[in-house]
Amino acid sequence: MSQRIAAKITGVAGYLPPRVVTNADMEKIVDTSDEWIRTRTGIRERRFAEPGMAASHMGTEAAKKLLADRGVNPEEIGLIVVATVTPDMFFPATACLIQDRLGASNAWGFDLSGACSGFLYALTVAAQFVGAGTHKKALVVGSDVMTSILDFTDRATCVLFGDGAGAVLVEPATSDTEGIIDFVHDVDGSGGCNLYMPAGGSLHPASHETVEKRMHYVHQEGQQVFKYAVRRMSDLACEVLQRNGLSSRDLSLVVPHQANLRIIRAMQERLGMDDSKVIVNIDRYGNTTAATIPLGLKDAVEQGRLRKGDLVLLIAVGAGYTTGAILMRWAY
Ligand code: ACO
């Protein structure tokens, strides 16, 4: 059964730190090669935030640009949901820091931890409040400073990620021909052990030992995550299309999470879609975790690849495991 939400995206913006780090630069940090990174992942370069730039700073920049582009006063925002696995601190929430910097004096908000599916979780949650009529304008932000939790002695993970932020504005849909048609989310906690940051939480609070054992960094069983992502991205896409009586031929654009170009191409092949209908920017940004999908939407808008009425699929799989697919008619 499909689950329509009477809410639509009415604006999108992104922020990328200026420092570009190429694969050649990564060769100077770990024992890797441009050829390995390009052929195994599709990544050519990524952005690194300078020290002192946190998730809230990047998220604020993206949100400020979004509000300026759309001519929206910060005081009109009722809700701010921030997806991140690299919050500035455990508390206060990154959403509070962004609310303050924006001057969004009428907003409440919170952070949401859904890793690479985080932005889609946040979008579904915010859209529910807008669809229910509780808020007229909600901000959804995905922001991650992945470099703050990368082990730069582990070549299998540090080459994969980059830093960035994206934000969308969510407003009520005024007809059935626009906005969110359906969404699917699920969690498979049995996969938690394949992608995680062991320390820093209540299980292993920071100590000399956790630092010495490099437990404050991303740990990943790459092949396990890869297999799960390939299978679930394709299954989810088919499921959400089928239950709405649609096929991949009806899609104008897919904006997938950017973890690995091979994962994206595998899903694309199963859907039988050509490259022109699938957003890929992993080559330039790497995996920015909660920011990949809003940055994908930003690129799609800038490249003129989204038009009012287009059927769009947003899709992600991430740590947890977490998954999400949101099907929508683009509204502007
Ligand atoms: N440079 C050179 N060689 C490397 C590197 C590197 N950066 N990293 C690993 N290798 C080597 C390995 O040591 C191994 O060598 P060996 O055969 O001598 O042992 C070889 O390359 C193959 O390693 P694999 O791990 O088998 O490589 P694979 O083809 O599986 O690619 C990768 C690894 C890119 C990590 C892939 O498994 C992947 O993309 N996994 C999924 C990532 C993902 O989707 N993450 C989820 C999102 S993140 C989130 O939610 C926070």
pLDDT in tens, 209-258: 999 999 999 999 999 999 999 999 999 999 999 999 999 999 999 999 99
Average pLDDT on 118-144 reads 98
Domain count, the chain: 1
Question: Cβ of 35: how many Cβ atoms within 10 Å?
Answer: 9
* Coil, helix or strand at residue 260: coil
**Secondary structure, 3-state, 154-172:** CHHHHCCECEEEEEEEEEE
* Coil, helix or strand at residue 136: coil
In a mutational test of the pocket of ligand 1, which residue from 36, 37, 40 has the highest number of ligand atoms less than 8 Å from its CB?
40
Q: Is the pLDDT of residue 82 over 80?
A: yes
DSSP character for 332? -
Return the pLDDT at 176. Answer: 86
Say how many Å lie between the CA of residue 156 and the centre of ligand 1. 5
In this structure, of 31-40, 70-79, 170-179, the range with the lowest mean pLDDT score is: 170-179
Cα angle: 68, vertex 72, 78; to 5 degrees: 125
Cβ 168 under 6 angstroms from ligand 1: no
Write out pLDDT tens, residues 108-125: 999 999 999 999 999 999
Return the pLDDT at 70. Answer: 97
> Which structural domain range is residue 163 located in?
1-332
Q: Which atom of ligand 1 is nearest to the CA of 159?
A: 7
pTM above 0.75, yes or no: yes
Average pLDDT on 14-26 reads 98
Q: 288 near 118, Cβ under 8 Å?
A: no
Q: Residue written as tokens 């287009």?
A: 310
Q: Is the pLDDT of residue 295 over 90?
A: yes
Dihedral sign, Cα of residue 223, residue 225, residue 228, residue 230: negative
Q: Strands 45-48, 195-196: parallel, antiparallel or unpaired by DSSP?
A: unpaired
**Secondary structure, 3-state, 4-43:** CECEEEEEEEEECCCEEEEHHHHHCCCCCCHHHHHHHHCC
Question: Cβ of 147: how many Cβ atoms within 10 Å?
Answer: 22
Question: Cβ of 27: how many Cβ atoms within 10 Å?
Answer: 15
Say how many Å lie between the CA of residue 297 and the centre of ligand 1. 27
Active site residue 257: yes
Cα angle: 225, vertex 230, 234; to 5 degrees: 140
Return the pLDDT at 314. Answer: 98
Which helix H or strand E contains 283, and what residues bound it?
A: helix 282-285
Q: Which of 195, 122, 160, 175 is nearest to 282 (CA)?
A: 160
Q: Strands 79-83, 45-48: parallel, antiparallel or unpaired by DSSP?
A: unpaired
**What band does 136 get if pLDDT is binned at 50, 70 and 90?**
very high
236 half-sphere exposure, CB direction, 13 A CA radius: 29
Beta-strand ranges (E) seen in the chain are 7-15, 19-22, 45-48, 79-83, 108-112, 138-145, 163-172, 179-187, 195-196, 219-220, 253-256, 311-318, 322-329
CA distance 107 to 147: 30
Return the pLDDT at 2. Answer: 80
Average pLDDT on 171-194 reads 95
* Coil, helix or strand at residue 319: coil
Return the pLDDT at 106. Answer: 98
Cβ 159 under 6 angstroms from ligand 1: yes
- Structural tokens at position 57: 């700073």
Q: What is the DSSP track for 69-85?
A: HHT--GGG--EEEEE-S
Q: 263 near 280, Cβ under 8 Å?
A: no
- What residue type is 27 in one-letter code? E
Q: Is the pLDDT of residue 1 over 80?
A: no
Say how many Å lie between the CA of residue 35 and the centre of ligand 1. 13
Q: Is the pLDDT of residue 88 over 90?
A: yes
Say how many Å lie between the CA of residue 163 and the centre of ligand 1. 19
Average pLDDT on 127-135 reads 98
Assign residue 154 the CATH number of its domain: 3.40.47.10
- Select which of 135, 257, 260, 281 is catalytic: 257
